[in-house]
Structure 1
Amino acid sequence: MKKFPRIAEYKVMVTRLLLVYLFYFIARILFYVYNQSLIEVDSVFDFLKLCYHGLAFDTTTILYANALFIIASVFPVLINTKKAYQKVLFYLYFSTNLLMYSANFIDFIYYRYTFSRSTRASLDTLENEQNKTALLFNFLLNYWHVFLLFFALAYLWILLYKKTKVKHVTEKPTLKYFAASVASFLLITILCIGGIRGDFKKSTRPINLLDANRYVQNAGQADVVLNTPFAIIRTWNANTFKKVNLVSKTQVDSLLVPIKQYKNNPSTKPNIVIFILESFAREYNGAFNKGTKIPDYVGYTPFVDSLAQHSLIFTNAHANGWKSIHGVSSIIAGVPSFKNAFTSSPYPKQKIESLVSTLESEGYDTSFFHGAPNGSMGFLGFGNILGYDHYYGKTEYNNDADFDGVWGIWDEPFFQYFNKTLTQKKQPFMATMFSVSSHEPYKVPEKYEGKFPKGKVKINECIGYTDFALKRFFAEAKKQPWYNNTIFVLVADHGNTIAYDEYRKEFNRNTVPILFYSPNKKYVGVNNDLAQQIDIYPTLLDMIGYQKPFRSWGRSLINEKTVPPFAIKYGANVYQFMSGNYICTFDGTKAIGFYDKDDKGMAKNLIGKRNAEMNAIELRCKAFVQDYMERVVDKRLTTVK
């Protein structure tokens, strides 16, 4: 019996595809090695189980990357075994595979800042940066070992590929050749479609990021199961902003109260100054960690700690997103970001009620300050959507002698510029300052080298510098006539690198300080209730006695009587909603887990012991997601009911 035509070619093709699986396995090991302090895996056996479940996600990625290579390998053109044709296959194979493979290496480092695999939103954020070359060079300089690993593995991969040679065979255009080739082509196509979808069931949807959570004991392990190219592919054209019908309109209005109206305070018009501090995580601030009981805890913010003694601070506050632009939309507009960023969605270009619009209606001058090149992080574009009167960036500062060489103007001189510009404004004004210096590559100005503690992680020194810049700002600002009539807010945009195990726990990974300071000492104290970035907008309107209705998913942190404290965010590919005694994980339609409020690591799922409070929390989560999606999609981010 004669051999099946082209069987040798197919064996070589399969061997070459198996090489891709091998190198994805190596990348998964390296990803875990780099991030093992953030991902709890009990044993080698448990890790191998995660790798096994990751095969389905690798298969999808590998088949996407190699679709053209597979087609070209099996297509019946009679010249498949020729040397020139095999050379074309070589370049086709590596041009797609190495590009996709490299994305995994980015997350060896980037994961420690976002605590999730990179998605399309990560690329969208980079698009707004004008200094991409400088950022790449800086990444290369600081993380040279990642590049070295990538090129070493690429070299090894190429060597192994070259050992899989196809012997040239002269084929004749016979019926048997074409019939067998076409049949093989159709069979391979069917197998590839099944592999891309995740299995071969007709009724199933293609696997997505959420499916990785089916195989894990704790949420962080899902990122071991996944690979970064898969996360990017599945979110490339994904529109997760889709309306859902989970609860009644009456329940939304009573549980969520999306239209707020406060009449707790008389109408006043103090100036409002908001510092959104880059990566200024709660972990680094001593005043916000007095109750954590972390062994040998060290803080790096002596000035903020001293200011906190005369301020109203919230020690249990959370970010509502993972990136800087998420922080801006959450803090200023009260619009959080979940699976995909609101600002990267098809929907941010709409009328958005925010601190900007509400305060402008009261006669406030509004401005946004960011020392980076104008447009960086997407702030200028989003600021224009919100309607800021003025934007002050690196261009307006107009002195590159104070440029840090990577991100923007050093915080100390830019904060002084901030003070001088505010002094020239007519009151009342609302000004937002977004800092830049507490950021990778974690440098301080040369004249301050050695002044601030190096700390346990690299960012600690930069946190000390930004804290010093704040001290210098307040020292000068208190001399100005506008100072005593001002409410100051300090908050971080998101977390950053972690030194203490307490902050490695899933629900503590993106915690931020929230501080309100008024020189008249009206707001002073320590509040340990749950708080979040989207609460700042309604809190400020409550403080100044804003009497009109306004749209807000957050709650006033000083006088709220209808909505109990809560925090909502997106992590480990699910919504995480904490209120009362429990943390609820929610997949978009239903609760899939409940955890005790003290189980911040979310290790013990209590869903099998549901009670009335859990049911109520799930209902509130449903109300939030439903109203959020409906208002974003229908472009009703205003007081429209």
Structure 2
Amino acid sequence: MFIALWGYWLIYMIVIRLVFLMYNADLSAVLNASELFRIVFRGFHMDVSMAGYYLALYGLLLTFSVFFPSQWASRVLRWITVMLLVFSGAVTVVDLELYRHWGFRINNTPFMYLGPGAFGSISFWVAVKGTMIFFGLLGAFLFLYNKWIAPLAGSLSGRILKGYGLLMLLVTGGMILPIRGSFTVAPMNEGMVYFHASKPYANHAAINVVWNFVASMKQSAKIRYPEDFYDPGQTQSVMSRLYSAPDSTTPILKPGRPNVLLIIMEGFTSGIIEPLGGLPGITPALNRLCGEGILFTHFYASGDRTDKGVVSILSGYPAQTQTSIVKFPGKTENLPYLSRELKNRGYHTSFLYGGDADFANLRSYLTNARFDHLTDLESFPKVQNTSKWGVHDHFMFERLRAEMDTARMPFFKTVLTLSSHEPFDVPLKSRKVLQSEEDLYLNACTYTDKYLGEFIGYAKKQPWWNSTLIVITADHGHRHPGNRALQDEQRFRIPLLLLGGALSVTPHEKDILGGQTDIANTILAQTGGRENKFAFSKDLLNPAAVPFSAFFFQNGYGFMQPGKGYIYDHIAHRVTVAYGDTTDLGAGKAYQQALFSDYNRR
């Protein structure tokens, strides 16, 4: 029966991998038959390990069953199986949808975002699909258990159990071998199933999702990053070179202290903005505005989530590969803040968001940022709370108008939109039938763009316009359009646009490579001088600034320089995507090591 249980769970593990491949059919379609076979073959190694965990539990039960009637063992075997099926099915179903959005197999990361808005991106149809898959798996494998395993469990007699007690104890102890996955010093890990040098999805599909989740839960929430990824001495030398430009900037503003309005657009990737090479007609207002200010054409998000983007913008601090620093107030207390620096320079500061500021621990971060005023979901009438994430953007822009009319100058106001987040349930009727998720995303972006354009049109008529710098960027990129993989550098490309009546220069484009972390010192340089405490931020308007950008995702990073760049996978320990010459990886590795070490110290 023990062997039958092992076979039962190995079949289950293979089936859930096939379900994953079918659920992500658009991604699986680019794989050939050989690659699909290797996914199952390489993944079987981890399947055996996960089945070993379950078999160890069964083995302990059968070992101690010698002290109880045989009927007891049969019943408990059934209940353990049901609980394991429920647990495994829940992990599988949640992973199916999260992977499409996040690009990595489920681990302990979702627990960082549990809260009132945690399920805001789940549409009704996604919930129905997930429920059907969950109960389909549960029903099918309960049927298989009743037909195959239950008769074997029912035939166990007390005499047999007593005779096998010692044997089962030895077999249970032996489960350490399949669980560990090798006889070497390296235990089972995700890298053991990686096999493809250029298709991360193939490697991800080979991972046993239940094993991945269980392994991540065993890790400490306070992850300590390695200090030996790159030589410390060389790291310091490289970082000094990357940020060695003298404190000199190109003035772009009229004399005096300008107001600063920072607008952070949810998920506005460059792929939807025509002047940046994106699809035509999706953001007509923003397309037009790109010709009225300073447009940075090679600008990147630091991470792939809103909380990471907000920290990168306001603190000039890069995203992390396994954690989000915003979840640890003890660390964020020690970060530099753009709002604090401007407040020290006499600015009145405020933050406006139509959602729940408690989601993803954002409120503690904003509290540490010492904004004079915070407007979030609680500040809006309940009748306006009509989206799954909170107040739709047209209500938010109405509130922004009211707050701007009464703002004390000079002001620094940060605005974060939300309507272009899944499930894209915006109150805008499209001219065409919205069939795919990409259609819904593009429609939501068009909706937010409409009200952004109306707000800017209104702002141009206000007395504060001529003394205001408006900074428009995004919190992160998006997998749409094109359902790009998480490791695709195009997924991290976002806009950065400077406009407003405070500009003293003619509209133009700048092609210097930069990223979200550079916004802080770029603004500070125009309002009194940059601050060295923003160690990962350069002034993009400094003629001597070194052009480069770095971005981070789960267990990997990208590093872009003029004419070249690469994507590095920490699990595979290699470059998985190369853009141009990648013979010298030193600058990117040094940047990653500098971030690792800085995070550990905070």
The alignment's TM-score, normalised by the length of structure 1, stands at 0.83
Q: Closer, same or farther in 2 for the Cα pair 1:260/1:349, shift >3 Å?
A: farther
Counterpart of 1:494? Answer: 476
The secondary structure found in structure 2 opposite 1:88 is helix
Paired residues of 1:121 and 1:344 also in contact (CA < 8 A): no
Deviation for aligned residue 1:467: 0.5
Counterpart of 1:627 (choices 568, 579, 594) is 594
Whether the 8 Å contact between 1:359 and 1:430 is mirrored in structure 2 is yes
Q: 1:494-553: CA deviations, max 9, x gaps? A: 233423377787222333222222333537323344332222222222233425433231
> Which residue pairs with 1:311 in the alignment?
293
Cα distance change of structure 1 residues 222 and 417 upon mapping to structure 2, 3 Å threshold: same
> CA offsets per residue over residues 432-487 of structure 1, 9 Å max, x none?
11111112222222xx3246884852211111110011112212222332222222
Corresponding position: 1:407 with 2:389: yes
The answer as to 2:347 corresponding to 1:395 is no
Distance 1:504 1:40 in 2: 17
> Is 1:197 paired with 2:197?
no
For 1:124 and 1:505, locate their aligned partners in 2 and report how far apart those are by CA, in whole Å: 22
Contact 2:293 2:500 (C-alpha < 8 Å) held by counterparts: yes
Change over 3 Å in CA distance of 1:260–1:98 after alignment to 2 = farther
The answer for the alignment partner of 2:248 in structure 1 is: 263
* Paired residues of 1:260 and 1:551 also in contact (CA < 8 A): no
Partner of 2:199: 218
Per the alignment, do residues 553 and 547 of structure 1 end up closer, same or farther by CA in structure 2, a change over 3 Å counting?
Answer: closer
| Inter-CA distance 475–580: structure 2 relative to 1 (3 Å threshold) | closer
In structure 2, the residue corresponding to 1:130 is in which secondary structure? coil
CA positional deviation for 1:67: 4.4
Structure 1 residue aligned with 2:583: 614
Q: Output the CA distance in 1 between the equivalents of 2:459 and 2:155.
A: 79
Look up the match of 1:576: 558
In the TM superposition, residue 261 of structure 1 has moved relative to its aligned partner by 6.3
SS, match of residue 297 in structure 2: strand
Structure 2 CA distance, aligned partners of 1:102 and 1:265?
55
Q: Where do residues 108-257 of structure 1 align in structure 2 (5 Å cutoff)?
A: 108-125=96-113, 127=114, 129-131=115-117, 135=120, 138-163=122-147, 164=149, 165=151, 166-172=153-159, 177=162, 181-190=165-174, 192-201=175-184, 203-204=185-186, 206-236=187-217, 237-238=219-220, 239-245=222-228, 246-249=230-233, 251-256=235-240, 257=242
Identify if the C-alpha distance between structure 1 residues 227 and 516 changes in structure 2 by more than 3 Å, giving closer, same or farther. farther
1:284 is matched with 272
3-state SS, counterpart of residue 544 of structure 2: coil
- Answering whether residue 472 of structure 2 is matched by residue 472 of structure 1, we say no
Aligned mates of 2:535, 2:126 — CA distance in 1? 41
1:400 is displaced (CA, Å) by 1.7
Tell me: CA distance 1:360–1:504, structure 2 relative to 1, closer, same or farther (3 Å).
Answer: closer
**2:106 counterpart of 1:91:** no
Q: Which residue identity does 1:263 align to in structure 2?
A: S
Q: 1:183 to 1:20 in 2, by over 3 A?
A: closer
The one-letter amino acid of 1:114's match is W
Q: How far is the alpha carbon of 1:590 from its aligned partner?
A: 11
SS of equivalent to 1:494: coil
Paired residue secondary structure (1:229) = helix
Q: Deviations over 1:578-629 (max 9, x none)?
A: 224433344569972275426xxxxxxxxxxxx8x622xx221232122212
User: 1:408 is matched by which residue type in structure 2?
Assistant: G
1:130 deviates by: 1.6
- SS in structure 2 opposite 1:458? helix
Tell me how far 1:409 sits from its aligned partner. Answer: 0.7
The answer for the alignment partner of 2:441 in structure 1 is 459
Which residue matches 1:50? 39
Counterpart-to-counterpart distance in 2, 1:430 and 1:474: 17
The residue identity in structure 2 corresponding to 1:400 is: K
AA of the residue aligned to 2:303: G
Describe the SS at the equivalent of 1:576: strand
Larger mean CA deviation between 575-584 and 421-430 belongs to 575-584
Assess if the C-alpha contact under 8 Å between 2:354 and 2:392 holds in 1.
Answer: yes
Q: How does 1:292-311 map to 2 (within 5 A)?
A: 297-311=279-293
Distance 1:347 1:338 in 2: 19
Matches of 2:522 and 2:50 in 1, distance apart? 45
Structure 1: how far apart are the matches of 2:269 and 2:413? 22
Distance 1:626 1:504 in 2: 21
Cα gap change, 1:465/1:95 in structure 2, threshold over 3 Å: closer, same or farther?
same
Q: Which residue of 2 aligns with 1:106?
A: 94
Unaligned 5+ runs, structure 1 = 1-11, 291-296, 599-610, 636-641
Structure 2 residue aligned with 1:337 = 320
The number of equivalent residue pairs is: 588
**Cα displacement (A) at 1:265:** 5.2
1:235 match: secondary structure? helix
Conservation of the 8 A alpha-carbon contact between 1:130 and 1:376: yes
Which shifted more, 561-570 or 356-365? 561-570
1:512 alignment partner, one of 494, 498, 501? 494
Structure 1 CA distance, aligned partners of 2:560 and 2:82?
Answer: 46
Instruction: Give the alignment of 1:60-99 within 5 angstroms.
Output: 60-64=49-53, 67-79=56-68, 81-82=70-71, 84-99=72-87
- Specify the SS of the correspondent of 1:100: helix
Instruction: Look up the match of 1:320.
Output: 302
> Is the contact made by 2:260 and 2:413 (CA closer than 8 Å) also made in structure 1?
yes
SS at match of 2:81: helix
Instruction: Give the corresponding residue for 2:339.
Output: 356
**What CA distance in whole angstroms lies between the structure 2 residues aligned with 1:523 and 1:160?**
72
Residue identity (%): 20
User: In the alignment, is the contact (CA less than 8 A) between 2:356 and 2:377 conserved in 1?
Assistant: yes
Instruction: Return the TM-score normalized by structure 2.
Output: 0.88
Q: Secondary structure at the match of 1:75?
A: helix
Cα distance, 1:147 vs structure 2: 1.8
Alpha-carbon separation, structure 1, partners of 2:159 and 2:23: 53
Corresponding residue number in structure 2 for 1:14:
3
**C-alpha separation in 2, matches of 1:521 and 1:104:** 55
Secondary structure of the equivalent of 1:462?
helix
Give the 3-state SS of the residue equivalent to 1:433 in structure 2: strand
Change (3 A) 1:251 1:309: same
Post-superposition CA distance 1:245-282 (Å, at most 9, x none)? 43344652553556886232579532221222112222
Q: Deviations over 1:351-377 (max 9, x none)?
A: 211212221221222222111134123
SS across alignment from 2:26: coil
